[in-house]
A and B are shown apart, each in its own frame.
Chain A
Amino acid sequence: MALPKYTETRYRIWHYFYIAICTFVFIFLIAPLFVIFPLSFNAEEFLVFSEGMKNLDPDAFSLRWYKDMVYGTKNPWGLAAKNSFIIAIFATLGSVILGTVAALGLSSRHMPFKGIIMATLISPMIVPLIISGVAIFFFMAKAGLAATHTGIVLAHIILGTPFVVITVTATLSGFDHSVTRAAASLGSNPVNTFMKVTLPLILPGVISGGLFAFVTSFDEVVVVLFLAGLENTTIPIQMWTGLREQLSPTILAVATCLIVLSTLILISAELLRRRSERLRGINR
C-alpha cells in the first residue's frame, strides 16, 4: 500500500489515519484472545498479571490450572468434554447427511417451490437463538427427550443443517452436471454416481459445512441451557456456570485449549476453502 510520490499531503495524512484505524481494529479483534494465554499459566489465584509475571520471573508461571483442569477433584471438565465431543460428532454427522442430501435436491433445476423450501431450511439460522431454544425445548419436553443426549444432538442438528445446506448448495452452483449424466450413460446407478463422482467433487464444501456444524454444536449454549440436565453438561455450560459464579483460572486453562482447537479448525477450514475454489475454477 505504498503511496505514489505525487500524493498530496492531506491524502497522505488521511492514508496514515486510515492505516492507524485499521491497526486499532485488528488489535481490538485479536488481542482479547491473547490475554487469556499468559494468564492461564499464572501461579497465583488472581486473574491479573502479578508483579512476577510482569518481570518474567519463572516462578510466577505454572501449570497448576491445567493440572486442576485434568486431575482436579469434583471437576466437571472431563465429563463435559466427553459429552461435548460426543454430541458435536453425532450432530455434525446428522447435519452433514441431512444437509447434503437436501442440498442435492435444492440445486436441481427441477426443484419445485425452491424459494419457500430454502427459506424453511435455513430458518434456524435466521431466527434468534433464544426463540429456537424455547421452541426446541417445547418439542423435546413433549417427546420426552429433554435432558438426554439424543435430544441435544437433535437440537444441534436443527441448528447445524443450515450451514451445511448453504455451503453445499454454493459448491454445487459451480458443479458441472454433465459429469453425472456421463456416469449414468456409462451405466452407473445414481447411488454409485453420487459416491464415486459427485461426492469427491463437492467434498470440500461438505467438509467445510460440517466444520460449521461442528463448531455450532461445540460452542452452543443457549439451547443446551434449556435442554441439559446434570448428566448432559457440556463445556459451554460449564464455562457459563463458571463465569457466572466465579471467574477461576481453571476456566482460562480450558479457554486456552479451546483457542488452540479453534485455530486448528480455522486452518482446516481455510485449506478446504482454497481447495474448493481451485476445484470450482475460481481464480482470484
Chain B
Amino acid sequence: MSSETKQILTTDGIPLEISLKKAERKNKIKAFLLVAPLLLFLIITYIFPIGEMFTRSIDDKMITNMLPKTFKSMETWDGKELPSEEVFASFLSDFKILVEKKEHGKLAQRLNKEKNGFNTITKKLFRQVKRNKIDETQSIKEQIMKVHKRWRNVEYWQAIKRTAPPYTSAKYLKAMDMYLNEDNKITQVSEDRRIHRILWLRTVEVAFFVTVFCFLMGYPIAHLLATLPMKYSNLLMICVLLPFWTSLLVRTASWMILLQQQGVVNDFFVLIGLVSDDNRPEMMYNKVGTYVAMTQILLPFMVLPLYSVMKTISPSLMRAGKSLGGTPFVAFWKVYFPLTIPGIGAGCLLVFILAIGYYITPALVGGASGTLISNQIAYHMKTTLDWSFASAMGLMLLGGVLVIYWLYNKLVGVDNIKLG
C-alpha cells in the first residue's frame, strides 16, 4: 500500500497542501490590503511625525553646521589651556562666513545659552570683522584675544567645544530642571528656578486624584445602573450619556458659571448657612475648580466601562454568596467586587490617561495653580516657539502614558476596553 506516499490532489492536479497554502496567502494579502490605506495614512501623518518629535527634541545640528572648521580643528585640542592658533584661525573663517550670511546673531544666541557672556563678545568680534580690522597675515589668536578679555578666558572656548556634538540631551534635562555643567555633569538648576518638576508632580497628582474621585463616584452609580430594572436604568443612563456627548467647552463653561463667586454653588452655600454672604470662598482659578470640573467631565469614562462589566455579572452570584452565609458586605467584597476588577482597570486607565494629558479645562478654570504640563507644552508650541523643548516634554509625557498602558496590559489586559 502506498497511501502515505500518494498525495491528495485537487481537481487541477495540484497537491492540496500547496493549493491551500496559496489560498491562505491570498486571503492574508487581501486582509492586509484592506487595512493598508488607513495604516499607511496613519504612519505618514501621525507615527512619523511623532518620531520627528524625537529627532527635533535632541537636534543640535544648527551650531555643528555653523562652525564646521572650528570643531574639526578642536578635535586635537585637550581643552585645558587656550587652543592653538589654528583653532582661532578656523573660528574666524567660520565666523566670517556667518557674518556674510547674517547668521552671527543666531550663533551668539546659541552660545549664550551655553555660557552667559557670549552675546557681548560676539558682537564685539562682529564689529571688528565688519570693519576689516583683523589682519590675516598676522597672528589671528593675538588679535581675537585683544577684542575682549573673555576671548582670553579658556572657559569660553571650552563652552564652544561642548556644543560640537550634533545631538543634545539638554531639552530633556531642562524639562527635569537640570542641565549639564562645565564638567559635563548633570546638575540641578537653582531652587527658585525649578518650575518644571512642580508641573510634572502636579500633573500626576491631579490625574491621580481625579481618577480616585471618579472611581469613588462612578462605582456606586454604575452598580445602581446595572442592577435597576431596564426602564429606570435607561432613564438614568441619560444622566451619564448626555454629558458624555456634550461638548467639553460647554461643560467647562457651565462650571465656570457655577463656581464663580456670585455663582449658584456659592449661593447655595450661603443659603444653607455654610458661609456668610460677604465671605464667599473662591472656588475657581485654583485646584478646587480643576478637580471639580475634571471629575465631572471624566466621570462618564469611568461609569461606562464599569457598567458594561457589571451588566454581565449575574445577580444570582450575590444571592448564592448570601445564602451560603455571607453578610451582604462579605458577599459584595468576596464575590461581586473581584468580578468588577476588569471594569475598574479599564475605567481608571481611561480616566488617568485622559486626565494626564488634559489641557483645556485646567487652562480655563485652573488659574495659575491649575497649570499642568500640557499647558506648558502648548505654551512653548505657541508662544515661545521652542518646539524642540515642547517635543521633549511631549515625549516624556507619552513615555509615561505608554508605561501605564503597558502595566495595565500586564495586569488586566487591553481587550477589556469597551466603548459604552
Tell me if B245 and A167 are in contact (CB < 8 A): no
Q: Inside 8 A of B255's CB, which chain A residues have their CB?
A: 32
B359/A36 in contact, CB under 8 A: no
Q: How far is the CA of A158 from the CA of B50 in the complex (A)?
A: 13
Instruction: State in angstroms the CA–CA spacing of A30 and B39 once bound together.
Output: 39
Contact B53 A106 (CB under 8 A): no
Who on chain A is nearest to B52 by CB? Answer: A138
Min CB distance B225 to A, Å, is 9
Q: A71 within 8 Å of B by Cβ? A: no
Name the segment of B7-15, B28-36, B163-171, B180-188 touching the other chain.
Answer: B28-36
Q: Does A60 contact B (CB under 8 A)?
A: no
**Does A48 sit within 8 A of B, measured CB to CB?**
yes
Q: Are A111 and B28 in contact (CB under 8 A)?
A: yes
Interface centre among B35, B221, B363 (most CB of A within 10 A): B35
Given A110-B27, A121-B42, do A135 and B52 touch, yes or no (CB 8 Å)? yes
Instruction: Say yes or no: A135 contacts B30, CB within 8 Å.
Output: no
A69 close to chain B: CB less than 8 A: no
Q: Does B66 contact A (CB under 8 A)?
A: no
Beta-carbon nearest neighbor of B355 in chain A? A128
A221 interfacial by beta-carbon distance below 8 Å = yes
Partner of A102, one of B39, B263, B381: B39
How far is B378's CA from A222's CA once the two chains are assembled, in angstroms? 9
Q: Which of A104, A130, A165, A259 sits near B378, CB closer than 8 Å? A: A130
B328 within 8 A of A: yes
Q: How far is the CB of B202 from chain A (nearest CB, A)?
A: 15
Assess the B377–A130 pair: CB atoms within 8 A: yes
Considering only CB atoms, which chain A residue lies closest to B46 in the complex?
A158
Cβ of B45 under 8 Å from chain A: yes
Q: Which of A158-173 contact B (CB under 8 A)?
A: 158, 161, 163, 165-167, 170
Which residues of B are found within 8 Å of A32, using beta-carbon distances? 243, 251, 254-255, 258, 296
Contact of A126 among B50, B238, B405, B420 (CB under 8 A): B405
Known A22-B224, A239-B253; contact A130-B357, beta-carbon cutoff 8 A: yes
Interface residues of B, dominant DSSP = helix
CB distance B37 to A101 under 8 Å? yes
Interfacial chain A residues near B28, Cβ < 8 Å: 110-112
**CB < 8 Å neighbour of A110 from B24, B49, B56:** B24
Q: Chain B nearest CB: distance from A158 CB in Å?
A: 5
Count residues of A near B (Cβ-Cβ below 8 Å): 86
B236 with A98: CB separation less than 8 A: no
Let me know if B45 and A128 touch, CB within 8 A. no
Min Cβ gap A210→B in Å is: 13
Q: Is the CB of B45 within 8 A of A154?
A: yes
Is B238 a contact partner of A266 (Cβ separation < 8 A)?
yes
Chain A: which residue is nearest B262 at the CB level? A48
CA distance A251 to B251 in the complex (A): 12
Given the known interface contacts A112-B32, A131-B398, the answer about A215 and B245 at a Cβ–Cβ threshold of 8 Å is yes
Determine the residue in chain B with the shortest Cβ distance to A266: B245
| Contact indicator per residue, chain A 36-68, by CB within 8 Å of chain B (1) or not (0) | 100100000001110000000000000000000
CB-based contact A28/B260 at 8 Å: no
Cβ of A280 within 8 Å of any chain B Cβ, yes or no, is no
- For the complex, give the distance between the alpha carbons of A226 and B397 in Å: 18
- Chain A's nearest CB lies how many Å from the CB of B48? 7
Shortest Cβ distance from B21 into chain A, in angstroms?
12
B257 to chain A, nearest CB (A): 5
Chain A residues with CB under 8 A of B250: 33, 36, 239, 255, 258-259, 262
Please determine whether B262 and A258 come into contact, CB atoms closer than 8 angstroms: no
Q: How far is the CA of A99 from the CA of B39 in the complex (A)?
A: 10
Let me know if A176 is at the binding interface, CB within 8 A: no
Question: Does A179 interact with chain B (Cβ within 8 Å)?
Answer: no
How far is A71 from B251 in the complex, measured between Cα atoms in Å? 25
Is the CB–CB distance between A212 and B419 below 8 Å?
yes
B115 CB–A CB distance under 8 Å:
no
Contact between B221 and A26, CB atoms less than 8 A apart: yes
Is A123 among interface residues, defined by CB-CB distance under 8 A?
yes
Distance, CA A129 to CA B373, complexed state (A): 13
Question: How many Å lie between the Cα of A251 and that of B420 in the bound state?
Answer: 30
Residues of B near A163 (CB, < 8 A) are 419
Question: When chains A and B are docked, how far (Å) is the Cα of A219 from the Cα of B253?
Answer: 14
Say yes or no: A126 contacts B353, CB within 8 Å. Answer: yes
Q: Let me know if B227 is at the binding interface, CB within 8 A.
A: yes
- Contact partner, B394, options A101, A130, A252, A270, Cβ 8 Å: A130
Taking the closest CB of chain A, its distance from the CB of B358, in whole angstroms, is 8
Q: Does A204 contact B (CB under 8 A)?
A: no
Of the listed residues A22, A29, A101, A137, the one surrounded by the most CB atoms of chain B closer than 10 A to its CB is A29
Interface residues of B in 275-329 (CB under 8 A from A): 296, 299-300, 311, 328
| A136/B381 in contact, CB under 8 A | no
Q: Known: A36-B257, A221-B248. Contact between A139 and B49, CB under 8 A?
A: yes
Could you show 26 A-B contacts with beta carbons less than 8 Å apart? Answer: A18-B220, A22-B220, A29-B296, A33-B243, A33-B246, A98-B37, A98-B41, A101-B38, A104-B34, A105-B34, A106-B31, A110-B31, A121-B35, A127-B398, A130-B357, A133-B378, A135-B50, A135-B52, A138-B387, A154-B45, A158-B46, A161-B38, A212-B419, A219-B249, A235-B247, A269-B245
The 4 closest A-B pairs by CB, nearest first: A128-B357, A105-B34, A110-B27, A105-B35
Known: A49-B267, A130-B374. 14 other contacts (CB 8 A): A22-B221, A25-B220, A30-B243, A101-B37, A108-B31, A111-B28, A120-B39, A128-B374, A131-B50, A134-B53, A158-B45, A163-B419, A222-B378, A258-B246
